[in-house]
Structures are given as C-alpha cells and as structure tokens.
Amino acid sequence: MPSTTNNTSPALKISQAFEQAKREGRGALMPYFMCGFPSASQSVELALAAIEGGADIIELGMPFSDPLADGATIQHAGQVALERGMTMRGCMEVARQVSARSDAPLILMGYYNPVLAFGIEPFCQFAAASGVCGLIVPDLPPEEADPLQQAAQDNGLSLIYLVPPTTPGARIARIVQMATSQRGSFIYCVSLSGVTGERAELPPHLHDFIQRVYGYTKGHGLPLAVGFGLSTPAHIAEVTSYADGAVVGSALVRLIEQNPPEKQVEAIKAYIQGLRAGRREI
C-alpha cells in the first residue's frame, strides 16, 4: 500500500528529500516522466529505474490535450499517452504502483482544466491515497490557487509554484508567502521564459535569477529547484552549485524514444547515474 496510510503528511517527504541531498553535499535530482509514455506499465518501471539510479524526487506528468508550457518533446509524449488511453485515474494508478515499490516522493504535474473536471477535493483525496506528495499546475496563477492549495493541504499534499525569470518582485514575494504557508513546498524556478525542451547551454542570466529569488526566500528555508532545458551532467552540476535541485524532462523522453522497450529501463537508470556522477564533481 502507498505510504500515505500513516499519520505523516505526505508533503514532508519532499522536504526530507531536499534535506537528505543537502546533507550529502549536493542538490536534489528530479526527473520527469509522462504517465502512460511509452505505456502505462513501462512508465512505472522507468520511474522506478530512475529512483534506483539515484533520483531523489519523481515528477509524474499528467497528459493533457492543450499543454501550454510543454515543448514539442513533452507534447509528443503526452499525445502518445493520450492515444494509448491514459487518463487522470490512470495517472493515479501509475503513482500508486510506483509508491508501492519506493519511498521516493512523487509529484503530479499537469494542467488545471482536468483537475477542475475531476473535482478539486476528489482529485487531492485520490492523489494522496495513491502515494502522491505534491502537485505542480503550470497554468494556475497564484491569485486563483487558494481552492486547490487548501484542498491539497487538507490532504497532506503540497502545491508547488513556478517562478519564471520575468516574474516581478511583488509576485515572487506573494508566491513565497503561499509556499511557506504549507508543508513540503519548494519554488520551481523556470530557467527561461518559454516552453520546456533541451538546450545546449544554460541561459546566461540563470545564476542571477536564482540569487534574486533567494533574496525573497531567505530565512524561510524554502528550497529552490530549477527546470526547463536541463539535460547534461554539466547542466546539473552548474545548477546545483547555486540551487537546491534540478529537474530533467525532455532529455528523458528523447532517451526513451531512442531505445527499444527492453533497453529503456537500463538506459534511464544509467542516465540518472551519470547525472548524479556529474553533480558530485561540483
């Protein structure tokens, strides 16, 4: 059964993962997998392979027909998942199976329309019962997030907010306030304005942007993770030298597509191990 059956808030597992990584002198590694890509059963095995390879936190994508923040690679994975029958309940089942075989914290990442259609309270209840610890909803503005954040908190989950480089200071301050009012949260710093996808080089402004956000989180103990465009050990090493965590997504989709099904699990495990090795050389 998922570990959410005990009395500990599931969201606290997210904080504990960041704290464990910090004790080991590194940033948390957070790979993203699309539920149902390339199949429901394989997405479970790939997430578990990443955990075995050294991932600290797993993001599980919920496919949606109009994914505004996703680049072409993630959009393709989501389309494949939808064509092969993945649903919101199917995503919960993927999470349940992963959580039944691992203690790594799981974060569901998806868009607000399907959550509303499912029902905010039932969605959070179902997520918690399936072993989920947190939620990321890229198209949900913080000004409209109170109902979901309250339902998430009532069910022991954390709602995690995205902060792109163009975010005004007053908005960052508000997001930090909302994040610190709940357990197990962190700030997801978007490395660049635009959609997800691999990039050869990290944006030159990234370090300054992260330091700017730290100016607002200082004293709150709120971790910062960086996502969008990260794909190489060098990227992970650089980002985790000044942030608390790094997210990798599109590169994993590409790697899955480059390998036949019987080799995908080992390929993902080896890739994650390589990212960990890279970041330890900071």
Map residue 162 onto helix, strand or coil.
Answer: strand
Residue 14 class from Cβ within 10 Å (0-12 exposed, 13-18 middle, 19+ buried)? buried
**Catalytic: 59?**
yes
Query: What is the DSSP code (8-state) at residue 27?
Result: P
pLDDT of 200 reads: 54
Residue 73 class from Cβ within 10 Å (0-12 exposed, 13-18 middle, 19+ buried)? buried
**CATH number of the structural domain 26-279:** 3.20.20.70
Is residue 249 a contact partner of residue 212, using CB atoms and an 8 Å limit?
no
Global pTM exceeds 0.75: yes
Is residue 43 a contact partner of residue 36, using CB atoms and an 8 Å limit?
yes
Q: Report the first-to-last Cα separation within the chain, whole angstroms.
A: 38
Is residue 28 a contact partner of residue 127, using CB atoms and an 8 Å limit?
no
Nearest to 160 by CA among 126, 191, 134: 134
Catalytic, out of 24, 52, 59, 257: 59
Cis amide prior to 233 (ω within 30 degrees): no
Nearest to 110 by CA among 125, 96, 129, 91: 91
Backbone φ and ψ of 188, nearest 5°:
-95, 105
Helices and strands in the chain, H and E counts? 12, 8
Q: For the chain, which residues make up each domain, given as ranges?
A: 26-279
Catalytic, out of 70, 198, 238, 244: 70
Residues 6+ apart with CB under 8 A from 127: 92, 95, 108, 135, 155, 157
**Per-residue pLDDT for the chain (282 aa), expressed as one digit of tens each?**
333 434 479 999 999 999 999 999 999 999 999 999 999 999 999 999 999 999 999 999 999 987 676 678 888 999 999 999 999 999 999 999 999 999 999 999 999 999 999 999 999 999 999 999 999 999 999 999 999 999 999 999 999 999 999 999 999 999 999 999 999 999 999 987 544 444 556 888 999 999 999 999 999 999 999 998 787 888 888 999 999 999 998 889 999 999 999 999 999 999 999 998 865 333
Distance CA 13, CA 21 (A): 12
Distance CA 184, CA 202 (A): 27
